[in-house]
A and B are shown apart, each in its own frame.
Chain A
Amino acid sequence: MIGHVLFFALAAVLLSAAVGVITSRNPVYSAMFLVLAFFVSAGLWLLLEAEFLAIVLVLVYVGAVMVLFLFVVMMLDINLARLREGFSRYAPLGAVVSLVIVALLANVFWFRAQDTPLMMTPELRSAEVSNTRELGSVLYTEHVYAFELAAVILLVAIVAAITLTMRRRPGLKVQDVARQVAVRREDRVRLVKMDADKE
């Protein structure tokens, strides 16, 4: 009973947050709506007893990805009038694209779903079963190749991103940290011994 109430409450907040992401005029508000959406979907996953996934969603998306998003969005100076300039010109194209997407979604959810038998709700496990351990035991045995492939792809992406920012500009003054650390007092300060002033 409480589960149902929670589910519908969370789902309602999730949907309104998702609508808020695309309708709010202020990009910072959009980003914050997205954060709210992530939080609420983490709550939905908790209801499904997927606590590992729920917490990782908050940790990765809310804790890291959205912070960087906000970081960028806050520094943007968006001129809404210029963005809206070609709205009426491109509106038909946008309508077509969204219709195609709706049709595809309808195809998946409506027509193809009719052939698949309804899945029974899986039996609830006791609180003793550790979600994380279960996931790990499958991830590192059955799906180990897929897992390692994903890791390699991510690593390549990191290397590529870093390479993109590594440009050498001529005439750039760079601090050599090793030399800074190795500095001793004798290199910088000269102590002079002299008599006190006599007046």
Chain B
Amino acid sequence: MEALLNALPGWELLPDTVQTVGVIVAQIVPILIALTLCVAYLTYAERKVIGYIQNRIGPNRVGYKGLLQPFADVLKLMLKEVVIPTNSNRFLFVIAPLLAIIPAFATWAVIPFTENFVLADINAGLLYVLALTSVGVYGVILAGWASNSKYAFLGAMRSAAQIVAYEIAMGFALVGVLMAAGSLNLSDIVRAQAGGTLMSWFWLPLLPLFVVYFISGIAETNRAPFDVAEGESEIVAGFHVEYSGMAFAVFFLAEYANMILIAALTALFFLGGWLSPFAGLPVLGDTFLAESGFFWFALKTALFLFCFLWFRATFPRYRYDQIMRLGWKVFIPVTIIWIFVLGGMVYLEIGPWAR
């Protein structure tokens, strides 16, 4: 990317600060475009996967096998009118979708896609991720409140309580990860899992935390079976019931970007990110399967994304009090106990800590 910019006429004449900003922007833009395209095709994949699970075909009219369906949807949403309800809080109503999407995109700054490519390789990467994912809830709460609608408000209240509850379990699960890796830097966390096959990844020694993290991730993104914030059978569409057109599309985009984010983070923390599961297998030799790289990271992320869709098609929605019980009374104790077990394992040098 930098080479491309250097080839521009007059690039060297620009001041250093402008050049630095230029390079950063030139890295951000491809990531965002790729992410948006991923979101578009995730919606397509969702409809197809759920379709086949329910013995239907799914979208197949627009383009070959319906492959242009996401673009048709975007076009439709762009042409629709954005209705702002009467007596709603205009400013907060408009700004709420932005508050939902900004953290969903900003978190990607610290995600290492391969060994060498990460936008911002900061020391406190894991904390940054936790902080930004917890900020996303403002979009939901403000949307619910500003809409001046009882259904939207109920959805917002449910969502706020749920996200606060599951954030704690999520944070504790990540405490286990950073105990195992000894670092807050996401690249270092992946590197700590290197040096072996599948068994050296964190999913095995941190198995309960892995399960808790992924399920809490589903709850954080308000996806089925934890989608009481939307709960269409009870409160129409929850917090975004009053949104239409592009304002709704932005919420939609944020939800799916968050799904991809949670899937990518789970892959990084527990399944060794870009590491290849077949590293060192003599049968494969030098093929790309044995090599660590973006391919594996994408594959693992796709695996978790498929789980998101699979769960949605499989499980009925949780009742609200059961969600709270699961978060506070099951997940948090499980994570705390496993942190103690981990402490014992580190102290006695068992498993991955044997040196």
CA distance A52 to B123 in the complex (A): 9
Asked if B184 and A74 make an inter-chain contact with CB atoms under 8 angstroms apart, the answer reads no
Residues from chain A with a CB closer than 8 A to the CB of B17 are 2
Which residues of B (116-141) have their CB < 8 Å from a CB of A? 122-124, 127-128, 130-132, 134-135, 137-138, 141
Residues from chain A with a CB closer than 8 A to the CB of B138 are 35, 67, 70
Residues from chain B with a CB closer than 8 A to the CB of A51 are 122-124
Residues from chain B with a CB closer than 8 A to the CB of A177 are 325
Asked if B135 and A62 make an inter-chain contact with CB atoms under 8 angstroms apart, the answer reads yes
Asked if A64 and B164 make an inter-chain contact with CB atoms under 8 angstroms apart, the answer reads yes
Known: A55-B131, A58-B135. A67 touches B141 (CB 8 A): yes
CA distance A56 to B2 in the complex (A): 33
Nearest residue, chain B, Cβ from A59:
B131
CA distance A52 to B178 in the complex (A): 15
Interface residues on chain A, number (Cβ under 8 Å): 24
- The reply to whether the CB of B255 lies closer than 8 angstroms to some CB of chain A is no
B91, chain A: closest CB distance, angstroms: 9
Asked if B157 and A64 make an inter-chain contact with CB atoms under 8 angstroms apart, the answer reads no
B175, chain A: closest CB distance, angstroms: 13
- State the majority secondary structure of interface residues on B: helix
Asked if A63 and B153 make an inter-chain contact with CB atoms under 8 angstroms apart, the answer reads no
Asked if B184 and A132 make an inter-chain contact with CB atoms under 8 angstroms apart, the answer reads yes
Residues from chain A with a CB closer than 8 A to the CB of B161 are 71
- The reply to whether the CB of A131 lies closer than 8 angstroms to some CB of chain B is yes
Asked if B160 and A55 make an inter-chain contact with CB atoms under 8 angstroms apart, the answer reads no
A-B contact pairs, 24 of them (CB 8 A): A28-B89, A28-B92, A51-B122, A51-B123, A51-B124, A55-B128, A56-B127, A56-B131, A62-B131, A62-B135, A63-B137, A67-B134, A67-B137, A67-B141, A68-B160, A70-B141, A71-B141, A71-B157, A74-B141, A74-B145, A75-B157, A130-B184, A132-B127, A175-B321
